[in-house]
Amino acid sequence: MVSINSAIGVDLHGNIWADSLDARKIYSGVGGQADFIRGAQYAENGLAIIALKSMTSKQVSKIVDRCPAGITTTAIPADQVMIVTEQGAFDPRRLSLGERAVGIAHLAEPETREKFLELIYNNPSFHKPKLSSKNGLPGFTAYDDLF
C-alpha cells in the first residue's frame, strides 16, 4: 500500500499538519490522512508519502523550525512518513533527531535551508547533527538526483 497526502506544513522534528493554520484557524476538516499513513506503515512493504511545496504562493516557507502553538498534527515524528518537496525526497525512517532535522531542512528552499542548518548545528538539542552529513546525507535524495 502506498498513500500520498499533502500537508500545510512540516517542522524540523517531523511534525506534520494538514487541517489547521494555527490553534483556532481551521483550513479543512479532519480527513483520513492519519488513517492512510498508519495503514501504509503497517502494510507489508507499505509507504506513506507527504508531498507539499516548500513555499506558499506568498513565499512563506512551509518547512518551519517548530509547528505553530496549538496546532493539531496529522502525523508525528514517530510515524514512518517520506516527505517530498520540489527540493527532493526525505525518508526519515531509522534516523536520529539530528539527522531528521538536517534532512527536513534540505526540503526547504535554499535560503531557508541555510538558516535552518545554522540553527540546527548551533543547537545542542539536535543531538550531533554534523555526524548526519559526514558520509552524505542519509535519507535525502535531491530532486535533481531523482532523474
Residue pLDDT, tens place only, 104-134 = 999 999 999 999 999 998 888 776 666 555 5
pLDDT of 34 > 90? The answer is no
Closest by CA to 82, choosing from 99, 62, 104, is: 104
In order of start, what are the domains of the chain with their CATH numbers?
Answer: 2-146 (3.40.1080.20)
State how far the Cα of 43 lies from the Cα of 41, in Å rounded to an integer.
Answer: 6
Q: What share of the chain is helix, strand, coil (3-state, %, to 5)?
A: 25, 25, 50
Q: Which residue has the cell 514517530?
A: 78
In this prediction, residue 95 has a pLDDT band, given cuts at 50, 70 and 90, of confident
Whole-structure pTM value: 0.85
Region of 101 (left: φ > 0; alpha: ψ -120 to 50; beta: rest) is: alpha
pLDDT for 84: 96
Q: Which amino acid is at 123?
A: N
pLDDT for 137: 73
DSSP states of 17-29: E-SEEETTEESS-
Closest by CA to 14, choosing from 135, 87, 69, 95, is: 95
Closest by CA to 20, choosing from 32, 29, 11, 33, is: 29
In this prediction, residue 144 has a pLDDT band, given cuts at 50, 70 and 90, of confident
